[in-house]
Amino acid sequence: MKKILTEWRNFLIKEAAPSVPYTDERLEKKISLYMYQEGDENYGLILYRKEKYVDDFYIIGYASIDLLSDEGDERFSCIPQTYQVAAIYVEPELQGQGFGKLLYSLAYAVIPDGAGLTSDKYSGTLPAAQSSWKKMEKSAEYSKRKTPMGNDEFDYDGKKTPDDKMDDCRADMDLGDKNATDYSLEKNNNSIGKQLFNNYMKQHFENDFMNRDSVEDQLLRRAIKRFGQIYSSTFS
As a whole number of angstroms, the distance between CA 33 and CA 169 comes to 31
Count of alpha carbons within 13 angstroms of residue 155, beta-carbon side? 21
What does pTM read for this prediction?
0.88
pLDDT digits (tens, 9 = 90+) for 43-99: 999 999 999 999 999 999 999 999 999 988 888 899 999 999 999 999 999 999 999
Strands 116-119 and 82-90: parallel
Per-residue confidence band for 173, with pLDDT thresholds at 50, 70 and 90: low
What is the distance of C-alpha 88 from the center of its chain? 4
User: Could you give the C-alpha distances from 51 to 21, 22, 221, in angstroms and in order?
Assistant: 11, 10, 17
Query: Residue 52 belongs to what domain range?
Result: 2-235
Domain count, the chain: 1
Round the average pLDDT of the chain to a whole number and report it: 89
Q: Write out the DSSP string of 28-49.
A: -SS-EEEEEEETTTEEEEEEEE
Closest CA to 182 of 126, 143, 137: 137
pLDDT of residue 9: 45
